[in-house]
């Protein structure tokens, strides 16, 4: 990061898949980091693995982001200059089954966190939003000004939090925030020490492909080959998780430099180019050195044919662009998966 501040960055959900990479990049940039995580969806040894990457180690506070007492303790004991809020629940199908839990955790967590930030005069927030807020996009690539219409409870929690952040900034102009709308984060840290290790059956393509390549699963199901795309399979804007993490540092730099004061900006983080499911599967096979077995299955309800970011705003505002390509995403995901098999 360019701005050398004395304090720490608080990363809620910092032991999670994306959070661990954000923490690793912050440490690499020489920042002090405090993780707040309840380990509801993270392995206990993630902070140790982040420390093994180095330099330095994050401070760890184990607790729930909705717990006002824990938040008060964190902000009182540590000099925090900015917060990256990533703690939350993220499985679309689960959100359909348990909408109230998703509201309670995702919206309740953001509210409790912002109350504590205001009480402790911490006014810089980066929030993990999602391309899900665009619902079924009218056109691709999708600019930030596209209509917002979340089509499931998970996406609605992201929209409600974005809107609430906007209202807080309007009421308290000393507050400045960026909501980052992620497209499809994949891959892992080049060390192979941190990555996505979902519990149970993976919801996302890459962990499933990696487990299939490793022989943990027999074959991959490709959901739908009759979409209006060149090979009939759905197109996504895959972004390497390390690029995504660096996007957070660029957004923090922007906020800590005093840019965006009194504003809430929503910014896409994607590469601005899409790959079909079959292209991604072929690239993974090339990284592993053998073809990945797959079978075509019916479309999944709620999946869109294509979702690709208009990635220009992040470049204009933060000078950030995603540089790592599909080949690197596959190679790094495979390195992480291979290491998991050895543990």
Ligand X SMILES: NC(=O)c1ccc[n+]([C@@H]2O[C@H](COP(=O)([O-])OP(=O)(O)OC[C@H]3O[C@@H](n4cnc5c(N)ncnc54)[C@H](O)[C@@H]3O)[C@@H](O)[C@H]2O)c1
| Catalytic annotation present for 154 | yes
Residue 152 touches ligand X, criterion: CB under 6 A: no
Q: CB nearer to ligand X: give 244 or 256.
A: 244
Give the whole-angstrom CA distance, residue 128 versus residue 210.
25
Residue 109 touches ligand X, criterion: CB under 6 A: yes
Residue 128 touches ligand X, criterion: CB under 6 A: yes
Tokens 């072929």 sit on residue: 282
Q: Are 27 and 56 in contact (CB under 8 A)?
A: yes
Q: Are 131 and 307 in contact (CB under 8 A)?
A: yes
Taking CB under 6 A as the criterion, the residue among 3, 7, 28, 41 binding ligand X is: 41
Active-site pick, 154, 182, 238, 294: 154
Q: CB nearer to ligand X: give 143 or 232.
A: 143
Taking CB under 6 A as the criterion, the residue among 11, 26, 31, 37 binding ligand X is: 37
Give the whole-angstrom CA distance, residue 124 versus residue 30.
19
Residue 34 touches ligand X, criterion: CB under 6 A: no
Q: Where are the beta strands (DSSP E) in the chain?
A: 8-12, 32-37, 59-62, 80-85, 124-130, 176-182, 184-186, 220-223, 235-236, 238-240, 264-269, 275-276, 294-297, 306-307
Taking CB under 6 A as the criterion, the residue among 11, 51, 65, 267 binding ligand X is: 65
Taking CB under 6 A as the criterion, the residue among 8, 9, 19, 194 binding ligand X is: 19
Eight-state DSSP code of residue 143: P
Find the shortest distance in angstroms from Cβ 112 to ligand X: 9
Radius of gyration of the chain measured on its C-alpha atoms: 19
Binding mask 68-97 for ligand X (x = CB under 6 A): ------------------xxx-x-------
Residue 49 touches ligand X, criterion: CB under 6 A: no
Nearest to 256 by CA among 99, 125, 166, 135: 125
> Is it true that the peptide bond before 141 is cis, omega within 30 degrees of 0?
yes
Residue 141 touches ligand X, criterion: CB under 6 A: no
* Residue number with the smallest Cβ distance to ligand X: 16
Where do contacts with ligand X occur on this chain (CB under 6 A)?
12-13, 15-19, 37-42, 64-66, 86-88, 90, 105, 109, 128, 130, 182, 185
């Amino acid at each position: 990061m360019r701005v050398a501040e004395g304090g720490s960055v608080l990363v809620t959900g910092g032991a999670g898949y994306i959070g661990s990479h954000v923490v690793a990049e912050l440490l690499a940039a020489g920042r002090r980091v405090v993780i707040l995580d309840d380990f509801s969806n993270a392995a206990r040894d993630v902070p140790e693995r982040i420390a093994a990457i180095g330099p330095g180690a994050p401070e760890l506070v184990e607790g729930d982001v909705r717990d006002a007492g824990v938040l008060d303790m964190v902000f009182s004991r540590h000099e925090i200059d900015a917060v990256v809020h990533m703690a939350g629940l993220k499985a679309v199908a689960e959100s359909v089954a348990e909408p109230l839990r998703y509201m309670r955790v995702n919206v309740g967590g953001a509210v409790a966190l912002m109350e504590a930030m205001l009480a402790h005069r911490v006014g810089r927030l980066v929030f993990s939003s999602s391309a899900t807020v665009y619902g079924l996009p009218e056109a691709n690539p999708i600019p930030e000004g596209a209509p917002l219409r979340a089509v499931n409870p998970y996406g609605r929690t992201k929209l409600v939090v974005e809107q609430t952040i906007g209202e807080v900034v309007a009421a308290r102009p000393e507050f400045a925030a960026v909501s980052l709308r992620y497209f499809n984060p994949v891959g892992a840290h080049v060390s192979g020490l941190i990555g996505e290790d979902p519990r149970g059956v993976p919801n996302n393509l890459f962990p499933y492909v990696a487990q299939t390549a490793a022989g943990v699963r027999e074959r991959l199901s490709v959901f739908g080959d009759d979409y209006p795309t060149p090979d009939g399979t759905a197109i996504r804007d895959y972004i390497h998780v390390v690029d995504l993490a660096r996007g957070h540092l660029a957004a923090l730099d922007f906020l800590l430099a005093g840019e965006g004061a009194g504003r809430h900006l929503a910014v896409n983080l994607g590469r601005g180019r899409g790959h079909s499911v079959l292209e991604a599967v072929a690239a993974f096979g090339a990284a592993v050195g053998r073809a990945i077995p797959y079978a075509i299955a019916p479309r999944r309800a709620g999946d869109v044919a294509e979702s690709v970011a208009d990635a220009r705003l992040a470049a204009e505002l933060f000078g950030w662009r995603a540089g790592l390509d599909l080949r690197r995403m596959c190679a790094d995901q495979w390195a992480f998966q291979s290491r998991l098999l050895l543990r």
